Amino acid sequence: MKTYYRIWLEEELPKLISYRSNMDYTLDLGCKDLRYRELLDGMYVGVDVNPRVKGKDVVIADAHHLPFVDEAFSVVLATELFEHLKDPKKAIMEIYRVTKSGGELILSVPYLFPSPHEEYWRFSENGIRLLLNELFEIKVVRKIGGLFTNFFTSLFIFLESFIPKKINKIIYPLYTLLRIASKTIDQYINTHYAYAPISGILVKAKK
């Protein structure tokens, strides 16, 4: 079952990705299972150190050392990646190098929830701005999740480990209803309160 945070993030991503022609190359950093393949127009290239899906458009590589020529990509997507990188600054410099002038970077980072994978960082909005501002012009910053999203996500993660799958299917409508309600409330809180608790941050920046 996807977390409230992940569902909210995936609802927002298509709104930030600009249309590109079929001749443009798009890069999906940390592509894993290629879940965002259909979101990216143009010629798709996925990069991951350990991809779950293999193919001619998937390259096994590290974000700190990208095996591409300068200014190769019109769009670079990096979702839930930077918390796993040992040197985020070096990775940003590599992304800058392979992004075309006028190209876009779409980046998301979690703020609250831990991952079962190795992590090193948590970024606030100011932290993301500090990381990007020297190289990219930030166009959009969106707060994802909030107090109620965090609470119900934590609750359902806890319950999912105890409740049998058959019962999980029965309570799924309740899960969906609470997700919609919590998103509506959190959007209001995030809009009206500067220091609202959030689950993560989604950014669109331009080179």
Whole-angstrom Cα distance, residue 96 to residue 175?
Answer: 40
* 116: confidence class by pLDDT, cuts 50, 70, 90: low
Whole-angstrom Cα distance, residue 76 to residue 100?
Answer: 10
Whole-angstrom Cα distance, residue 141 to residue 20?
Answer: 21
Average pLDDT over residues 90-96: 97
pLDDT at 114 over 70: no
Average pLDDT over residues 99-124: 87
Write the pLDDT tens digit of every residue in 13-30.
Answer: 999 988 777 778 999 999
Write the pLDDT tens digit of every residue in 66-87.
Answer: 999 999 999 999 999 999 999 9
Maximum average pLDDT range among 54-58, 65-69, 111-115, 158-162: 65-69
State how far Cα 165 lies from the chain centre: 28
Q: Is there a contact between 202 and 144 (Cβ–Cβ < 8 Å)?
A: yes
Q: Which two tokens stand for residue 41?
A: 């127009």
The residues, ordered by sequence, that sit 6+ positions from 201 with a Cβ below 8 Å of its Cβ are: 108, 109, 111, 123, 124, 125, 128, 141, 142, 143, 144
In percent, the amount of the chain with pLDDT more than 70 equals 97
pLDDT at 188 over 80: yes
Listed residue (42, 43, 116, 37) closest to 79, CA to CA: 37
pLDDT at 44 over 70: yes
* 115: confidence class by pLDDT, cuts 50, 70, 90: low
Question: What's the pLDDT score for residue 151?
Answer: 86
Question: What's the pLDDT score for residue 1?
Answer: 62
Q: What is the CATH number of domain 4-146+194-206?
A: 3.40.50.150
State how far Cα 170 lies from the chain centre: 30
Per-chain mean pLDDT for the chain? 89
Distance linking the first and last C-alpha atoms of the chain: 36
pLDDT at 152 over 90: no
In percent, the amount of the chain with pLDDT more than 90 equals 55
Average pLDDT over residues 3-19: 87
Average pLDDT over residues 169-186: 84
